[in-house]
Amino acid sequence: MIPGFTEHTTGPLAYSIGGAGPPLLMLHGFPQTRAMWARIAPELAQTHTVICPDLPGYGTSGKPERLDAYSFRAMARAMLGLMDHLGHGGFDLVGHDRGARVAHRLALDAPGRVRRVALLDIVPTHRLLSDLRWPVARAYYHWFFLAQPAPFPERMIAADPDAYYQSCLLGWGGAQLSDFDADQLARYRAAWRDPDTIRGMCNDYRATLEIDMDHDSADADARIACPALILFGSTGAMAGHYDVPATWAPRCTDMRAQAIPGGHFFPDTAPDATLAALRTMLAKGAGA
């Protein structure tokens, strides 16, 4: 995979690209970077042109000051700008965690661009926040901690970024640090030790409460038009608190769902199973 940069209204976007064939955009989640696809993207690049960006505020992409740059709609537009820059009209789309929420918004806002979409280990944002139950709030407390006014969470996290973000990696499904590839973990640590990245990731969550919920409330009945694959960790927090496929069924026109062994971070901890599921989607279509 070859690294690259392009400019967008949110600032520079860092990405890696490799392979040849139909374009495939892959979006990482919190608290990671595009390095999370290191054991998956090169395999998919055997049949596709794979593009893995760092989301705005993450990794080596720009860290905008404006809060509205972190809404899922703004980040989706940034991803469309990247694909325009690379000359791709329609494309397949994969997202995990925050990247899956960007992918969901992108599929709703630009249905003519997304051929197939895979959403990894999320329930719809509107469902999670509008029907919040205390066990989910306890498991996903970070949504509300990170969204507190600056600089409160930033200062607390900066005291020991590794301790805080590793507690996130080890939650939501009971992983161990040894489950994560050492090189990928080193790249995550390098990113989250940057104070600007800490601020960017906090702003991502602030934007969800201040901006995204209004967008999602307006689109509460909207359905994804393209085939959708819903993957979820079999022992993750989402599967423990929700019937994940049932939360997506009313929001999709063509859906297939599959559990993957492990918790929330199964693309890291079970890359082979994740790869197999994505290959099936890309080969046959999610509704096959």
- What are the beta bridge partners of residue 173? none
Q: Which alpha helices (DSSP H) does 131-169 contain, by range?
A: 134-139, 142-146, 152-158, 161-169
Category of 153 on φ-ψ map: left (φ > 0), alpha (ψ -120 to 50) or beta? alpha
DSSP letter (8 states) at residue 224:
B
Question: Any catalytic annotation for residue 142?
Answer: no
- Measured CA to CA, the distance from residue 286 to residue 263 in angstroms comes to 22
DSSP letter (8 states) at residue 152:
H
Which structure tokens are listed for 250?
């009313």
User: Which among 104, 212, 264, 268 is annotated as catalytic?
Assistant: 264
Question: Any catalytic annotation for residue 264?
Answer: yes
Q: How many other CB atoms are there within 10 angstroms of residue 187's CB atom? A: 18
User: Which among 54, 92, 97, 212 is annotated as catalytic?
Assistant: 97
Indicate the angle between helix axes 182-192 and 161-169, nearest 10 degrees. 130
Closest by alpha carbon to 96, among 28, 35, 38?
A: 28
Q: Which residues are catalytic?
A: 97, 264
